[in-house]
Amino acid sequence: MAKGSGKGRKSEAEIQDFVVVTLVRDLEQAKDYEALLKNNDIPVVIKRHDEESASAAAIAIMVPEEFIDEAHVVIESQDAYDDFYDLALEEEDNDNFDSDLFADEF
């Protein structure tokens, strides 16, 4: 049994070497960030925080301290790409012709 508890302490020690790069509210977004960071060869750990406030972000995305700057760049780049894509979709929806626009001509 001591072997199993030693393994638990080792993983806790390894996680202590990690720092929080961002906090998210849902597991789906946490998994997306995890995949994004792993695809960029950045070690990543997801850790749930049990907080009393339901409105607070409860899942930490953690990376080794030496990867923190790179992780921020990767996440910010992806967020900027997502924002651009969302904006493009919104503009496409707004560009649809209004049915009343040409009603008087015909």
Q: Which CATH number is 64's domain given? A: 3.30.70
Q: Per the domain annotation, does 105 fall within a domain?
A: no
Quote the pLDDT of residue 57.
59
Q: For the chain, what is the domain count? A: 1
Q: Check residue 5 and give its pLDDT.
A: 47
**Nearest to residue 15, comparing CAs of 45, 58, 60, 48?**
45
CA separation for the pair 90, 2 (Å, rounded): 57
Cα–Cα distance, 72 to 37 (Å, whole number): 10
- Give the domain range for residue 44: 11-94
Give the model confidence (pLDDT) of 45-98 as tens digits: 999 876 555 556 589 999 999 999 999 999 998 877 666 666 666 766 655 555
Any domain includes 101? no
Note the Cα 76 to chain centre separation in Å: 10
- Residue 37's pLDDT band, with cuts at 50, 70 and 90, is very high
3-class secondary-structure state, position 83:
helix
Looking at residue 14, what is its pLDDT?
64
pTM for the full predicted model: 0.61
Question: Does residue 6 fall inside a structural domain?
Answer: no
Q: Is 104 part of a structural domain of the chain?
A: no
Based on DSSP, count helices (H) and strands (E) in the chain, helices before strands: 3, 3
